[in-house]
Amino acid sequence: MANALESQLTYPWGEQVPEPGHCIALRPELLWVRMGLPFALDHINLWLLRDDDASGPGWAIVDCGIADDSTRANWEAVFASGALQGLPVKRVVVTHFHPDHLGNAAWLCERWQCRLWMSATDFNVGRMASQSTIGMGGESAAAFFAQHGLVKEEAQAKIRARGDYFPRMVPKVPSSFRRLMQGDTLRTADATWGVRAGYGHAPEHLSFADTQRRILIAGDMVLPRISTNVSVVDVEPEADPLRLYLGSLAALHDLPDDTLVLPAHGRPFQGLQTRITQLQNHHTERLAELQAALAQAPRSAAEVLSVLFKRPLDLHQTTFAMGEAIAHLNHLWLAGRLRREAGADGVWRFTPA
């Protein structure tokens, strides 16, 4: 195992993962698809649910992959493979607005002449971001990260140059959608999925729980190998997404530990409550490490990256790491456990309260 904590989880399909353009049937009415990503996190899991309705039998797609030729070619291969039994896609369901989840939604909805279903908050944020960039590139992101100590000119230039980061992977969002929100139900051919809204990773991330069969389509809220990214971005600079994320994890405590978790990254696993405890402990440990480091000297978010992340980071990883470092610092600051003060250089630095 790459991560010792994984030994506490159970993987019913072992090391097996779908090949590009192919499916693994977890159940006859539940198919697992995997698409590539051009990052260190090199894949996303997507799901097909049998979705019969009054107009006839069909399928629902949950999450879409980024909008590139390779992903679309792999979708076409899935459609041509016979896995869908010649039936149409009736709707596209998206857990949240991030590019690997929303990227191909417009293309899929147009191809199948079907509706997008997602939360209203993430739909509107996705539409806005597809016309600009939120958090990960452009002048505003560069200025925000500079306020938190990422001032090296090379990094600043690269961040400014990434103004097309989001629209490059999400060039278009459907013009209309069907709203899903906390407490709703998503009824498919043989299941009723309770809609769970989660916060901190995205504005209104949706997960789907079939409590009868003990299955959770978790999106990015609970991942088996890595911790979910929880970031502060330039459009909401004083946010406390870590508090929201930890609250969202706690809201999943009613689901049994042997629930089959279908994550967006990694492999399907059982051990939901075990993994939630691991994630809670992870953030508690990171917060304690931060406080210990700040007791030695005032530091900015850029200056605590090495405290939170022990490995070398490329630019893509650094932008996410900066957002996460600010999230942990903001959490302690807004809880009254740290003080924040801008230095003569305009950089925010944090010290114990």
Question: pLDDT tens digits for 319-344?
Answer: 899 999 999 999 999 999 999 999 99
Residue 197 has a pLDDT of 98
Handedness of CA 271, 180, 168, 200 (dihedral sign): negative
Residue 317 has a pLDDT of 87
How sure is the predictor about 18, in pLDDT bands with cuts at 50, 70 and 90? very high
The mean predicted confidence, pLDDT, of the chain is 95
What's 96's DSSP letter? Answer: -
Mean pLDDT of 45-64: 96
Helix 315-334 / helix 241-250 crossing angle, nearest 10 deg: 80
Q: Minimum mean pLDDT among 62-66, 154-158, 192-196: which range?
A: 154-158
Residue 174 has a pLDDT of 98
CB of 340 closer than 8 Å to CB of 232: no
Mean pLDDT of 183-195: 96
Mean pLDDT of 197-224: 98
Sheet strands (E) in the chain: 23-27, 30-36, 43-50, 59-62, 89-93, 115-118, 178-179, 185-187, 192-198, 205-210, 215-219, 260-263, 269-270, 338-342, 348-352
Start-to-end CA distance of the chain, whole Å, equals 40
Residue 135 has a pLDDT of 67
Residue 13 has a pLDDT of 98
Token pair of 349 as six digits: 């630095």
Mean pLDDT of 286-302: 97
Which CATH number does 4-293 carry? 3.60.15.10
Mean pLDDT of 188-215: 97
> What percent of the chain stands above pLDDT 70?
99
Residues 238-285: tens digit of each pLDDT: 999 999 999 999 999 999 999 999 999 999 999 999 999 999 999 999
What is the rounded CA–CA span in Å between residue 353 and residue 339? 5
Specify the pTM. Answer: 0.96
Residue 229 has a pLDDT of 96
Residue 141 has a pLDDT of 93
CB of 213 closer than 8 Å to CB of 193: no
Mean pLDDT of 7-33: 97
Residue 1 has a pLDDT of 40
